[in-house]
Amino acid sequence: MKRHALPTRLWHWLNLACITGLFMSGLNISNAHRRLYWGEWGFAPEDAWLFVPRFPGWMTIPGHYDLAAARDWHVLLAWPFAIGLLFAWAAMMLNGHFRRDIMTSTAEWRPAAIWHDIVQHLRLDFTHHGSKYNFLQKLAYGAVLGILLPLMIATGMAISPGMDSAWPWLSEMFAGRQSARSIHFLTAWAIFAFFVIHIALVLLSGPVRQIRDMICGGEA
């Protein structure tokens, strides 16, 4: 039995490529209008709740300001991102990965157990027994897979102009198109924060073995 099943490994690298491209093309799109609002409408500076900085070309796709090209990249990568997440969830449910490795137990929610995991992480002690992941890892992966990534898809569809007539209820679900845009922006940066922490922990816990196992599977 492999430490990481083949569907998990394939989705991991596909998702990395899609998220990177979506984030960088999204920054280019953000440069077109650098203010965020709540509600259905918003344009005036005095109505904005946040003024977003202009992102430099080395952070964006393409490397210069081009709203049309950035939108093309965004739509192109959104399809494999969404379909990949759907198949990842199907595979996790069918092969037991979600139930076995990500679903938390009642005992893990005890304050003493949570504090123990926090202390272990602060000590850079990532050993855990009886499970593939500890509580904090399960919580992080569950939040990303079950909340942040689906929320990116839903809010992305809600702010798409083509959805105004097809599914008007989608933007209403987020209290307006501008609210959906703000949530989309915040969720993107929450995923970026997870990515930074994830990479830092991989570097601290043995990057060669971790990357090798995510490519070849590793031993359970």
pLDDT tens track for 116-148 = 889 988 888 777 766 788 889 999 999 999 999
Side-chain-side CA neighbours of 50 within 13 Å: the count stands at 14
Residues in the chain: 220
| Residue 46: pLDDT band with limits 50, 70, 90 | very high
Closest C-alpha to 184, from 26, 7, 4, 17: 26
Closest C-alpha to 92, from 4, 187, 201, 217: 4
What are the domain boundaries of the chain? Answer: 6-16+75-216
- Its pTM stands at 0.90
Side-chain-side CA neighbours of 98 within 13 Å: the count stands at 12
CB-based contact 140:114 (threshold 8 Å): no
pLDDT in tens, 97-121: 899 889 998 988 999 989 988 998 8
Per the DSSP assignment, residues forming a β-bridge with 142 are: none
